[in-house]
Structure 1
Amino acid sequence: MKILFLHGWQSRPGGLKPSYLLSRGHEVINPLLDDDDFEAAVDTAQSALEIHRPQVIVGSSRGGAVAMALNSHRIPLVLLCPAWRLWGTADRVKTGTLILHSPADEVIPFTDSRYLVDNSRPAVVTLITVGSDHRLADPDSLQTMLRACENHGTP
């Protein structure tokens, strides 16, 4: 499966989560997103989406806000602790979006994801509670992210 992975603020391509997906046999497109210019980050991600045509888009933290700003059509979104209140202007997501977030997140409040789910109605959005911090780097969180991609990436 082809996955577009959008990293968080001050992160770089090739981190733990995209490497985990790659190690499980998936093709991962992981562009370097501009940390200082949100619109430039969105443009980079939109270009990668149009060139590579992924089956799933994963956005981690600020990458989640970037994912929400994309013209992603029917491509499913998997958002990891999305930092939508800090960047961009989107405050809703489309039907089928999965959000993974830890109630113990010390960077992005869990309540932000609850609000996003409620504010996106009537869209059907699923919030999955997982992990013990913002990174979602523990084995259970990584496995949950993998399942979310695999279950939503097939038509």
Structure 2
Amino acid sequence: MATILFLHGWHSVPGGLKPSFLIQHGHQVINPALDDDDFPAALAAAQDAFDRCQPHVVVGSSRGGSVAMNINSGIAKLILLCPAWKNWGSATKVKPGTVILHCRTDEIIPFADSEELVRSSGATLIETGSDHRLADPQSLAAMLKACEESQVRD
């Protein structure tokens, strides 16, 4: 069982499908509410949650991916779902071992943004899903696998 900090996307709320899926598969998930309008406040909430729970893995979905890239996540592995890094924050690279899941036909965050992160940082990019939400069974399974593989390598 991994301890996972799940950072939700813009206009999303804690307790959604993806963190619930991870909980259903036996993981401890910390899923703080992130301010939609104040990025520094969202960063502060995420950093506070990280510092308190010291997770093995940080999963960031869309805007939450940008939050994940901009906090001090220590040795925790990053799993980014369609990260909106060009829309928020200042981070332009990810740390080694980062896994990005993204849909090539994402209508909200261009797939090319994740390809750019891979080129600049050496992250692993997994193409999955049929839209930005990554809520289909294949994408949920890919997210779970990435979290569990990150845990094994620790």
> Could you say which TM-score interval applies, normalised by the shorter chain?
over 0.9
The percent of aligned pairs where both chains have the same amino acid is 61
Counterpart for residue 113 of structure 1? 114
Distance in 2 (alpha carbons) for counterparts of 1:104 and 1:77: 22
Counterpart for residue 139 of structure 1? 137
SS in 2 for 1:137: coil
Superposed CA RMSD in Å reads: 0.6
**1:73-92 → structure 2 map (5 Å cutoff):** 73-92=74-93
Aligned length: 152
Distance in 1 (alpha carbons) for counterparts of 2:114 and 2:79: 12
SS in 2 for 1:28: strand
Distance in 2 (alpha carbons) for counterparts of 1:145 and 1:45: 20
2:153 matched to 1:152?
no
AA aligned to 2:59 is V
Distance in 2 (alpha carbons) for counterparts of 1:139 and 1:15: 15
Counterpart for residue 46 of structure 1? 47
Gap runs ≥5 in structure 2: none
Displacement after TM superposition at 1:29 (Å): 0.1
Query: When the two structures are superposed, what TM-score results if normalisation uses the length of structure 2?
Result: 0.97
Displacement after TM superposition at 1:35 (Å): 0.3
Distance in 1 (alpha carbons) for counterparts of 2:79 and 2:139: 13
Distance in 1 (alpha carbons) for counterparts of 2:98 and 2:90: 17
Moved over 3 A (4+): none
Gap runs ≥5 in structure 1: none
Counterpart for residue 129 of structure 1? 127
Displacement after TM superposition at 1:117 (Å): 1.0
Displacement after TM superposition at 1:125 (Å): 1.0
AA aligned to 2:22 is L
Displacement after TM superposition at 1:74 (Å): 1.1
**1:15-26 → structure 2 map (5 Å cutoff):** 15-26=16-27
Counterpart for residue 94 of structure 1? 95
